[in-house]
Amino acid sequence: MTATRVLVLNSGSSSLKYQLLDMRDSSRLATGFVERIGERTSRLKHTALTTGETRETTGPVADHAAALKAVSEELGRDGLGLDSPDLAAIGHRVVHGGSSFTEPVIVDDAVIAEIERLIPVAPLHNPANLTGIRTARSLRPDLPQVAVFDTAFHTTMPESAARYAIDVSTADEYRIRRYGFHGTSHAYVSRETAKLLGKAPGDVNVIVLHLGNGASASAVREGRCVDTSMGLTPLEGLVMGTRSGDVDPAVIFHLARVGGMSTDEIDTLLNKKSGLIGLCGDNDMREIRRRVDEGDEQARLAFDIYIHRLKKYIGAYYAVLGRVDAIAFTAGVGENAAAVREAAVAGLEGLGLAVDAGLNAARGDGARIVSPEGARVAVAVVPTDEELEIATQTYALVGASHDLT
């Protein structure tokens, strides 16, 4: 029997999210998560999309191994267990693949060692991703495990975009360069945008704006990433929910020397207490818009700073690409916040950019164009689907190296 299912695992420091897909039609069979792993109040929520049934359990889940076992049991109850011969592979989201991983790879000991070697540049994410990989491997040692990297799509950036203008030997010694993140989303959305325009990815230039709680922009020329806003870490670039995005690096010396803050305190300040939450106390764009509509000045300023940065990146990537066919908005804010899309392109008619008020305000589930008919540059809303992209890349790799038919 042909194995056509792929389990996608996204392991965070205290959470495990999963989806099981059938790659014959990319349909979802099950989805769920375990959160607060390691605490007494861990919670597992599992939905079998084959039956529509949702089950929730609360109670201590000691570690990722226990979490994956619990997930496996839940899947098993729906006849979708990890031991099923229909399971072709497990695809793991891995945040940092450095310069080494330019595409997904089948996990072996050398791959694990390399992901481990990259921990210094991704101290929060790579250890959690590795735990997920190790646990899955111990449960199904015979099954291909595939690592799909958030950074891989960006490895096509030219050196002129990837390098920071700092001393070359220092940069090389510490592997300091722009890696970029959200790569599976940028890859998927840029391809889907081409599809929406009725063209091949190799025939279009797209600016992708992934605006979620984390946010990043990318410039994609003919299907290949040529620049992106996140850098060595996911802190650089756009204003985010809790991250500052771009600041003058001297802000850090100033806070250390004049403010007496430690490196860890500054790290926490810029990663967790800045961005929208630092500016106005809220990081949810719905709440910020509600406050703006009520005349709240602090929320208005936060929104304006967010939009100003976004506009700067649109302009910068327009210049990097030279010709732009589409700007695609995606992720929680990009897909849902019409006010953000409208404000981001306001005044950019000279660049061929505008939204049609009616199309932009209309709600819709699928990919859609919200610019006026005949606009020089299409403004698109393209829902992202990182799990599907991970599953697709995983299945393509496994299908290529094992005869599954």
Residues with catalytic annotation? Answer: 150
Element (H, E) at 105: strand 105-106
Residue from 337, 355, 370, 397 touching ligand AMP (CB under 6 A): that is 337
Retrieve residue 122's tokens: 């991704």
Which of 4, 102, 213, 298 lies at the binding interface for ligand AMP (CB under 6 A)? 213
Q: Which is nearer to ligand AMP, 239 or 377 (CB)?
A: 239
From 117, 199, 254, 286, residue interacting with ligand AMP (rule: CB under 6 A):
286
- Using the rule CB under 6 A, is 383 a contact of ligand AMP? no
CB neighbour burial string for 51-81, b if at least 16 within 10 angstroms, e if fewer: eeeeeeeeeebeebbbbbebbbebbeebebb
Please list the alpha-helical segments (H only) found in 140-237.
159-162, 168-173, 183-196
- Between 194 and 288, name the residue whose CB sits nearer to ligand AMP: 288
Nearer to ligand AMP, 89 or 339 (CB): 339
Smaller CB distance to ligand AMP: residue 222 or 287? Answer: 287
Q: How many CB atoms neighbour CB 383 within 10 A? A: 18
CA-derived radius of gyration, the chain: 22
The span of 68-76, 145-153, 243-251, 283-291 binding ligand AMP (CB under 6 A) equals 283-291
- Could you say whether residue 32 binds ligand AMP (CB under 6 A)? no
- Across the beta sheet with 16-22, what order do the strands follow? 53-58, 43-48, 27-35, 16-22, 5-11, 87-94, 145-149, 105-106
Q: Is 95 in the site for ligand AMP (CB under 6 A)?
A: no
Q: Residues with Cβ < 8 Å from 376, sequence gap 6 or more?
A: 352
Does position 114 interact with ligand AMP (CB under 6 A)? The reply is no
Q: Is residue 241 at the binding interface for ligand AMP, with CB under 6 A as the rule?
A: yes
Closest CA to 177 of 197, 155, 194: 155
199 binding ligand AMP? (CB under 6 A): no
Neighbours of 220 (CB within 10 A): 30
If one asks whether residue 242 binds ligand AMP (CB under 6 A), the answer comes out as no
Binding ligand AMP (rule: CB under 6 A), the pick from 332, 345, 377, 398 is 332
Q: How far is the CB of 342 from ligand AMP (least distance, A)?
A: 13
Q: Does 183 bind ligand AMP (CB under 6 A)?
A: no
Residue 177's φ and ψ, nearest 5 degrees, are: -165, 175
Do residues 182 and 204 touch, judged by C-beta distance below 8 A? no
Residues engaged in binding ligand AMP (CB under 6 A): 212-213, 241, 283-286, 331-333, 336-337
